[in-house]
Amino acid sequence: MILFMALLRLSFLKTFQYRGYVFINLMSTCIQVFVQISLWLALFTANPVVQETTLNDMINYLALTGLLALTKLEGPGQLLSQRIINGSIAIDLIRPYKLKSCLLSQSIGENLARFLLFVFPVYTVVLAIFGLQLPTSPLHTLVFFHAVLNGAIISFYYF
């Protein structure tokens, strides 16, 4: 477990390594969200309610899909192919830890860094402006988070 946390931390810190990368990706995320919101604003200006869906429903959907995109972890196949191409697989196979656990911890660390750098600041502003509709029941919230966790695990191990 200590190794898992150390690899997660290193992967997290690696994302912060290049300031230009961080700035460009943050601006890219802002532009992407702005374009999507502008598109929905334009579509809902002509007709404020489309089949019982309002603009706030669509903004909530936009924010939720942006947050859920982070749960798509890179699968071990993609990470292994990168390591085979650059030759670092030989060193990974010599080390005394499970390679799949290492890849999982690196993927979680990268996604955590992406969340803190790009998603959290942008979608916090979006949700502060437009508001967030929470589920009506705590059971719905629990089932939702359970489904998201299962989806992330399936995403990592099977894709």
- What is the distance between the alpha carbons of residues 148 and 12, in angstroms, rounded to a whole number? 21
- What range does the domain containing 40 cover? 2-158
| Number of neighbours of residue 12 by Cβ within 10 angstroms | 19
How would DSSP label each residue in 55-78?
A: HHHHHHHHHHHHHHGGG-PPPHHH
Report how many domains make up the chain: 1
What is the tens place of the pLDDT at every residue in 32-64? 889 988 988 888 888 777 778 888 888 888 888
User: Roughly what angle, to the nearest 10 degrees, separates helices 120-130 and 19-46?
Assistant: 30
User: Tell me: the pLDDT tens digits for 77-114?
Assistant: 777 888 889 988 888 888 888 888 888 888 888 888 88
What are the helix and strand counts (H, E) for the chain?
8, 0
Residue 137, φ and ψ in degrees, nearest 5: -125, 140
Residue 139's pLDDT band, with cuts at 50, 70 and 90, is very high
